[in-house]
Amino acid sequence: MTAPTSTAAAPGTAAGEAARRRTFAVISHPDAGKSTLTEALALHARAITSAGAVHGKGDRRGVTSDWMEMERARGISVTSAVLQFDYRGRVLNLLDTPGHADFSEDTYRVLAAVDCAVMLIDAAKGLEEQTRKLFDVCRHRGIPVITFINKWDRPGRDALELLDEIEREFRLRPTPVTWPVGIAGHMRGLADAREPGTMLRCTRAPGGEKAAIEEALTAAVAEAEFGEEWRTATEELELLAGTGAAHDQADFLAGRSTPVFFGAALTNIGVRLLLDAVVDLAPAPAPREQAGGAAPRPLDGEFSGLVFKVQANMDRAHRDRIAFLRVCSGVFERGMTVTRAASGRPFSTKYAHSVFGQDRTSVERAYPGDVVGLVNATALRVGDTLYTGRKAEFPPMPTFAPEHFAIVRPADIAKSKQFRRGIAQLDEEGVVQVLVSDARGEQAPVLAAVGPMQFDVVRHRMEHEFSAAVKLEPLAYTCARRTDAEGGAALNRSRLVHGEAMTRVKDGEILALFPSRWHVGSFEREFPRSPLEPLIAAHEQSGD
C-alpha cells in the first residue's frame, strides 16, 4: 500500500512525531466481534503474547480492553478503553468503544478523539442498526472509515451482496483490498485485490491464541489446490475492477469510499493485513477545528488537548479517577502546568499515565494523536480543553436526549454520604445524566439514560465501587426537551398533566420531561411562548 502523503517534519518535533501516529477506533454493532478484533490487532503488533478472546464470550475473562468486572461477566463492552502500541515504526493509539447502543454517548465521545475508524461488519448479519448509527457519526465528523467484514470462517452472506449493501445504504463506494477465496464458512484464504494472481493461505494457530500462520501462494498453486473456489474469487475481482472499485486515497480520506478487508478476528485471519492498512492508509493527526471559528492550532504550536472521557476506579486498589486526554497540538510533558479553558484555572499534570487497557505506566512526553491518562483529575470534565500559552478551546460535545428516567435512592439510608459521592461521580463521567427537581429535592435525584443498560451499570458500580447499593423507581417519561426557567415554571403549573421540569446537575440546563410526543405537542399548544428545544437524539447523533 501507499502511505498517506504528509508534510515533512523533523523527527522529535510535535509535527514529526504526529506523522508517526495513527489514532483510530473500532466500531460495530454489539456481538460483531469488536473486542475480539481489538485483541487480535494488539496480538499481531506483538503488544500482547496471547489473545484472551479465544473461546467466545463465555470465556472472555482475559480480554485486555474489557477491564470492568461487569464487562467480563456479561461478555460485552460497556466502556471505552485505550491501547497504545508500536507497529512498523508507528505508534498506534487504538480506542475500543462500547458496542451496545445504550452507550451511544460514550462512543460519540471516543469518536471525537480519533482520526480514523475501523468499521466491523458481521458476515452473516451485514449492516445492523448500531452500525448505521455509528457510520452516521463518522460521516458527520469527517472520519474516514476502513471496513473489516468479520466471521468469514462461519456461514454468512455473499461477499458481493455485502458490498452492494454498503454502497446502497451508506452511499460509500467499497473498494476491496482483500477478497475471500471460498464462501463464508469455508474460507480457504485471501486474494490480494491490488496484486491479481496472488493468494494468502491463512491457517489458524493451535488454540487460536497466536497469530494465524500465513503462506503466500502463486496463482498456479492456488488453482491447483482450490480450483473452482480460486477461479470464482478471481472472476469476482475482475468484475469489481471493471466497475472501478480500486482504492483511491483521496476518496477514502474525503469519505467517499471505504477500503474493505475480509477475515476472522477470533482465529486472527486477515488481521495483519488490516493492521497494515491502518499504518498505510489511515491519516496521521492534523490540526483540529476550534470553537467559535477560531483558526486551528498548528501541530507544532503550543500544547492543547481535549478531555474526551473520565473514568473512575479502573484501579480498584487505589480508587483513582482518570481523565483521558487526546493531545491535539504541541508536546505534552508530565508535570507541566496547563490551563483549563472552562475555568481559566491552572491544572498540574504531575500524575500522567500511558494506558494499555487496565495497565498503565508513567508517561513523560506525548505528541499529537496520543492519549494520556491524567490521574486523580477531579477538576476535569468530559469536553474540557487544556492548553498552554494562547487560549485554545475545542467545540463542546453534545449531550444526547435521554429516553429512560428513574428516581434513585440509597438502599441503606446510613450510606447517604457514599450515595451522594457515587452519583456525583457517575454524572461527571457521563455514565448517566443526573437531574434534580424542586418537587423531589436533591435527596431523590432522577437518573436520565439513553438506554436501560446504563441503569444496570449504575447499580453495579454503586454497589461494588461506592459500597452504596441503590433502589430505582422508573418514571413514565420518554421525551426530554431543553427549555428555560419560564418554560419550566409553565410546565410545573400547567393545568394539564404534561410532565415536569428538572435541572441537569452538570450544566444547570433545564429539561422538560414528557410521557410522550403527544404531551410535548399538547404543552406547546397551551404555552406557545414557552420555548422547547429538541436535544440530539441517540438515533440521530448528528450536529454539535
C-alpha to C-alpha distance for 6 and 54, rounded to whole angstroms: 38
User: Is 122 marked as a binding-site residue?
Assistant: no
Backbone angles phi, psi at 24, to 5 degrees: -145, 160
Alpha helices (H) along 31-82: 34-44, 69-74
62 is written with which cell numbers?
482475559
Residues 6+ positions from 510 with CB-CB distance below 8 Å: 482, 483, 484, 485, 487, 488, 501, 502, 503, 504
Query: Residue 14 corresponds to which cell in the numbers above?
Result: 510535535
The DSSP call for residue 432 is S
- 99 labeled part of a ligand binding site: yes
Cα-only R_g, the chain: 25
For residue 447, the SS3 value is strand
Q: Which residues contact 427 (CB under 8 A, 6 or more apart)?
A: 433, 434, 505, 506
CA distance 266 to 405: 38
Phi, psi at 111, each rounded to 5°: -65, -20
344: Cβ–Cβ under 8 A, 6 or more apart, which residues? none
Backbone φ, ψ for residue 398 (5° rounding): -75, 155
For the chain, the residue count is 544
d(CA 392, CA 431): 27
**Beta-sheet pairing, 21-28 with 90-96:** parallel
Of 341, 337, 359, nearest to 294 (Cα)?
341
Q: C-alpha cell of 344?
A: 481559566
Tell me the C-alpha distance between 271 and 45, whole Å. 10
Packing angle between helix 219-242 and helix 159-170, nearest 10 degrees? 30
- Asked whether residue 100 is marked as a ligand-binding residue, the answer is yes
3-state secondary structure of 241: helix
Tally helices (H) and strands (E) across the chain: 13, 29
Q: Is 96 a known ligand-binding residue?
A: yes
Cell digits of residue 371: 492519549
Torsion over CA: 444, 449, 455, 460 (sign):
negative
Q: What is the 3-state secondary structure (H, E, C) of 337-358?
A: EEEECCCCCEEECCCEEEEECC
- The amino acid that residue 119 corresponds to is M
Residues belonging to the binding site for GTP are 96-100
Residues belonging to the binding site are 96-100
